[in-house]
Structure 1
Amino acid sequence: MEIEVTPTRNEHSIIFKLNLKLIPPGTGLSFANPQSADSHPLARALFQVKGVVSVWIIDDEIQVTKDEKTRWGSVKPRIMEIIRSNVNSA
């Protein structure tokens, strides 16, 4: 699986674009907090990364937003590892 990382206009959000569909085209899932992600294993795992504050899953993309104090360099590798392990095991 390939993951392309794309910045957004919001410096605290990054899009992780995969070369496969995660959910049906034209649909999206929004998780604004860890409790809302309880039923979705990938989103739940992403919220376990310190600093992650929201997760959106749309088609083949995962948009992750972090808090202002957290640096992307400290969380991006872990986020990519979680995406790989959760998507490959699904």
Structure 2
Amino acid sequence: MALVQQQVVPEYQRLSDDVTLGLELSLDGTPVVAIQRWASRESQEAVMSSDGFASWWADHQPALVEWDRLLEFVSEWSTLDVDLRGRDLV
């Protein structure tokens, strides 16, 4: 978790105010779900297609190499966060 707290989170804060990161640990402490949440799909696409993204990505590589060394990548997917407090889901 130190890698995420000390390197990954600050890098993503530098990337955009529209993204937050989270980790969910299983009760036995082994499997981890890393969560990247964006304010909107449009915001994510705008940031990732911006002129500064390639530079950010290059700067972020050392943390990603360490992340890959520590964890085994299993799957990746995209979802939409649904507000269940009265929002019409239809």
Q: Tell me which interval the TM-score lies in, with the shorter structure as reference length.
A: 0.3 to 0.5
Higher relative contact order (CA 8 A, sep 6+): 1
Larger Rg computed on CA atoms: 2
TM-score by length of 1: 0.36
Tell me which protein shows more strand as a share of its residues.
1
TM-score by length of 2: 0.36
Tell me which protein shows more helix as a share of its residues.
2
